[in-house]
């Protein structure tokens, strides 16, 4: 997927391709195509079966919403893997896997692939990758909003991230978090869930791995 995203950027005039067209483009680019079985894990398959079981039970609208997030939220286990990086030439990059929403339907698109929502990088400000309840991250345009607060208001990455994750996403009733790095190498991993699996490394090789609230 990363090679394909790179090919879209380098070898097409477009920013985002989807569905069959994206597959055709990938084949034309000579990229490796794997069978869906490649992505199978027993854990995720069982979670899907449990969600489908629950779906059979009569639920009101709010519960329907909660259904998708059930396993994830209660165990603070959003499934998305994201990264943000600054290289020695000052280039910022962010990447976000498609996540985490069990039993999503109707061709639902989350925040992960939407530039400005779940993923954004701008050499003038920061790189951001998010995990969380994607619908809220799309509504709040989380990743770009953090960058915009830095660009237009002169806020630091830490200040901007706090406002967007706690006031904006939290204010709308959503939850999740981000990993981000700014153009000077400051790293921020802000979240409003109970915990977020996260790690960072600076240019000295100092590694930090955390799950729950910050010290």
DSSP type of residue 6: H
Catalytic residue among 24, 41, 80, 125: 80
**Residue 111 near ligand ASP by CB under 6 A:** yes
Contacts of 49 by beta carbon, 8 Å cutoff, 6+ apart: none
Report, in Å, the least distance between residue 130 CB and ligand ASP.
Answer: 6
- Which range of residues in 40-48, 106-114, 156-164, 203-211 is near ligand ASP by CB under 6 A? 106-114
Q: Which is nearer to ligand ASP, 132 or 157 (CB)?
A: 132
**Residue 100 near ligand ASP by CB under 6 A:** yes
Cα–Cα dist 140/192, whole Å? 14
Active-site residue flag, 80: yes
- Which range of residues in 23-31, 47-55, 73-81, 201-209 is near ligand ASP by CB under 6 A? 73-81
Nearest to 140, CA basis, from 114, 102, 159: 114
Distances (CA, A) of 132 to 7, 68, 99, 119, 183: 27, 12, 9, 12, 24
Q: Which is nearer to ligand ASP, 111 or 190 (CB)?
A: 111
Residue whose pair of structure tokens reads 């962010």 in the numeric block: 94
Nearest to 119, CA basis, from 61, 76, 80: 80
Name the residue whose CB lies closest to ligand ASP.
Answer: 100
Binding residues among 126-145 for ligand ASP as defined by CB under 6 A: 131-132, 134
**Residue 195 near ligand ASP by CB under 6 A:** no
Cα–Cα dist 102/67, whole Å? 9
Report, in Å, the least distance between residue 174 CB and ligand ASP.
Answer: 10
Nearest to 82, CA basis, from 192, 213, 191, 203: 191
Residues that bind ligand ASP (CB under 6 A): 78-80, 99-101, 110-112, 118, 131-132, 134
Active-site residues: which are they?
Answer: 80
């Amino acid at each position: 997927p990363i090679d394909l995203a790179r090919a879209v950027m380098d070898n097409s005039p477009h920013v985002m391709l989807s569905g069959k067209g994206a597959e055709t483009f990938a084949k034309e680019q000579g990229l490796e195509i794997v069978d869906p079985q490649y992505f199978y894990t027993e854990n995720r398959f069982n979670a899907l079966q449990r969600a489908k079981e629950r779906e059979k039970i009569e639920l009101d609208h709010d519960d329907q919403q909660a259904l998708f997030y059930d396993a994830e939220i209660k165990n603070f286990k959003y499934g998305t893997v994201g990264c943000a990086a600054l290289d020695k030439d000052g280039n910022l990059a962010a990447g976000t896997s498609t996540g985490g929403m069990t039993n999503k339907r109707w061709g639902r698109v989350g925040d992960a692939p939407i530039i400005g929502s779940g993923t954004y990088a701008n050499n003038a400000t920061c790189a951001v990758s998010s995990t969380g309840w994607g619908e809220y991250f799309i509504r709040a345009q989380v990743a770009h909003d953090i960058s915009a607060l830095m660009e237009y208001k002169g806020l630091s990455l830490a200040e901007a991230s706090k406002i967007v994750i706690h006031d904006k996403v939290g204010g709308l009733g959503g939850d999740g978090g981000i990993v981000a790095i700014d153009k000077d190498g400051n790293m921020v991993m802000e979240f409003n869930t109970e915990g977020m699996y996260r790690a960072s490394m600076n240019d000295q090789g100092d590694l930090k791995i955390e799950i729950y609230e910050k010290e």
